[in-house]
Chains A and B, each alone.
Chain A
């Protein structure tokens, strides 16, 4: 009988450890979220760029020219027109440039919109700094309102040498998701 008791205690210990392991892995699944964010921020993976205004100093490198392309797309089926004013620019690293995107609310109601930026290639993302951008805050549009939305950016001279073309893409999302923006 005592052997049975001993076996039960032995089993219980092991079951406890295994359940702990399963629970731990469940938590680990969620821990991957901040880990992933941190990893992307450090490496620029996924083309993430700054979401708050950057403070920069101009150190123009006239010897180098980089093509910056501008891309616009809509998230979901929102009633917007959304386009860059120019498709591409030739820029020197280390100098500030300004361009703008044009957005128009095609609906007859007020709409909140939010643009999420992404830079390709990922290795350029950290070196693409925005000092002013409509993507930093949600934008409110009156019915039928059309507006120019400026972006001021600078490409860090530290941009890897093999990169000669950088694409800045904005995806414009409609308002119902604005509540989640503080994440």
Chain B
């Protein structure tokens, strides 16, 4: 450091950081903010998870046992909103905050103050959202998709929900702007775009998706708000509006949104599999282009969520084929991950186990997605438990497993300690068994005709529902292990080396473990 002539004064200012709570409230350090995002996501994962367990408890047997139908509907709606906007998305932003600067050799995110602001909006947004459960009329109960006219029967909660969604949107957009500016302007010398790690690439594309669609959601919910309180008739047929139009606008946001929740997962898995197969990623360029194609296609398939609202044949055919087309770049990815492992010297540490489970189970979710894309079949599956099984397969063993894989993979880098491998493996096996016992039977329930979003069901569905509920409790409770393992690792454990794993690639492994508060003050040279 002695030969650093450009080590300017404003660097030193950071060192008298406040202690205690003020450190976290005022921090502009990407690692601190990443940690905050990850802890917040973990908390929301449990809040949303408890709601899922209430749902599964009620569905353990037919009839109404524990909750009334209104509360049940609030649980399905809030579970989705919290898991999507509170758990999965903030977890990915947390990983981005921690890892993107480390992976591109930047000293911090490009816009550290905005970074702090975009995190600290979230606790307010979710306090607002959760507070609706205690309002007259209860929380939102019309489904997370907020379809009018049903959603307009929400009680006092509606404006609070809409404001909460606006706040989440603002937070996401600011986070996305930060990611893009960091990646575009702060890469280390020599780090060309096509040398960036895939996690960085997938996040760059995700950030563009966020900027493109979160404002559209903001517009859609604003229209709901003005329809309800200011006499506009965007979605009121009586005034010349059309409730189906909401569905089009919503899903124009909603479909790219599902890729927002899976592309960073692709990135994480693309980092982990090469490390534990001890081979470079197969077809790096193809992976980048496949991610970009998936992002592009996500904008032209939205109406496959609403085949049953009535659409001309030409429209149905277009959206069906465009949807099926997505299987091509996704297939390229699955093929490349598989080819990366081919004849590799594989070992199966916890991150690798989660990544492999991701690969298998996400593919199952992809296949049921293909089934749903077929218009005549979709008429049967629509709004059934088959859909529930499908999107939980891509979101839980898809996104959530990838997040867990990423946490296990980078935890030694963050904390400087190795996590407990035995406990990690037990956590993995309980999770993977729990997930499959929960969601696999739901395919059968859906095919047999059980509708989604109902608190009661016909008795012939009892056995599979019981299985599903048992699985849900196994999965839910085993996540307590995850918390235990994380905090145990933070507190201590075997010392982790800088590399942590056996010759992993990436700049993050060139800094010591735990990663010091400031890294890459001097930009590294990338060959």
A-side interface residues toward B, CB under 8 Å?
1, 3-4, 7, 10-11, 14-15, 18-19, 21-30, 32-33, 36, 40, 43, 45-47, 75, 114, 116, 120, 122-123, 171, 173, 177-181, 183
Q: What residue in chain A is nearest B310 (Cβ atoms)?
A: A122
B residues contacting the other copy or chain, number (CB 8 A): 43
Interface of A is mostly: helix
Most B C-beta atoms less than 10 A away, residue of A22, A43, A173, A183: A22
Contact A25 B244 (CB under 8 A): no
Q: Is the CB of B181 within 8 A of A14?
A: yes
| B177 adjacent to A29 (CB under 8 Å) | no
CB neighbours of A7 from chain B (8 A) = 185-186
Residues of A within 8 A of B241 (CB): 180, 183
Binding site for A on B (CB under 8 A): 6, 8, 110-111, 173, 176-177, 180-181, 184-186, 211-220, 223, 231-234, 236-242, 244-245, 248-249, 252, 310-312, 315
Chain A residues in 8 Å Cβ range of B245: 32-33, 36
A75, B173: Cβ atoms closer than 8 Å: no
* Contact A173 to B184, CB < 8 A, known contacts A25-B215, A45-B312, A180-B231: no
- Quick one: which of B176, B213, B239, B248 contacts A177, CB cutoff 8 A? B239
Q: What A residues does B214 contact at CB under 8 A?
A: 22, 25
Residues of the A chain whose Cβ atoms lie less than 8 Å from the Cβ of B211: 18, 21-22, 25
A174 to B352, CA, bound (A): 61
Which of B173, B181, B233 touches A11 (beta carbons < 8 Å)?
B181
Cβ–Cβ contact A180 & B238, under 8 A: yes
Among B177, B213, B238, B239, max chain A CB count under 10 A is at B238
Set of chain B residues within 8 Å of A19, measured between Cβ atoms: 177
CA distance A49 to B8 in the complex (A): 70
What are the residues of chain A within 8 A of B248 when measuring CB–CB? Answer: 32, 36
A11-B212 contact given A116-B237, A180-B240, CB 8 Å threshold: no
Chain B residue nearest to A183 (CB atoms) is B240
Whether the pair B213, A18 counts as a contact (CB closer than 8 A) is no
Q: Which residue of B lies closest to A10 (CB)?
A: B185
Give the chain B neighbours of A173 by CB distance below 8 A: 237-238
In the complex, given contacts A4-B8, A30-B219, A75-B237, what are 20 additional A-B residue pairs having Cβ atoms less than 8 angstroms apart? A1-B8, A11-B111, A11-B181, A14-B180, A14-B184, A22-B177, A22-B215, A25-B211, A26-B219, A29-B252, A32-B252, A33-B234, A36-B245, A46-B310, A47-B310, A122-B310, A173-B238, A180-B233, A180-B236, A181-B238
